[in-house]
Amino acid sequence: MPTWNYAAVHVYGIPRLIDEAQLASLVDHLVATYEASQPEPWSGALPAEYKAKLLQAIVGFEMEIVRIEGKFKLGQGRSREDQLGVLEQLASSGDPVAQALGSLARSQLPPG
């Protein structure tokens, strides 16, 4: 089945690798941010050697953005009935990413 609901962003620039300390700090920040909303947030605490080994598998970088291109295809070529059915499924999915895609698609749906 073809994909007919997606949103994509392409970001262009010259990446610069970040050092181990910056990477560790960034990962700690991401864990704190995304675990905060969980019923029992994980602190991110790991044995130092194990954490160091995991961080070696991550390539961290920062990039000054010079161009951004966005594209979305949200079922524009489908019947209104198909579009509304997909919106209903996305809204009731329980998946925040699917729900966000549904909200974006609904905002682009022509009145009628």
pLDDT tens figures, 28-76: 999 999 999 899 999 999 999 999 999 999 999 999 999 999 988 877 7
- Confidence check: pLDDT of 112 > 80: no
The residues spanned by each domain of the chain are 1-14+67-112, 19-59
Per DSSP, the three-state class of 11 is: strand
Tell me the one-letter amino acid at 78: R
Calculate the CA dihedral of residues 99, 104, 105, 111 and round it to 10 degrees. 120
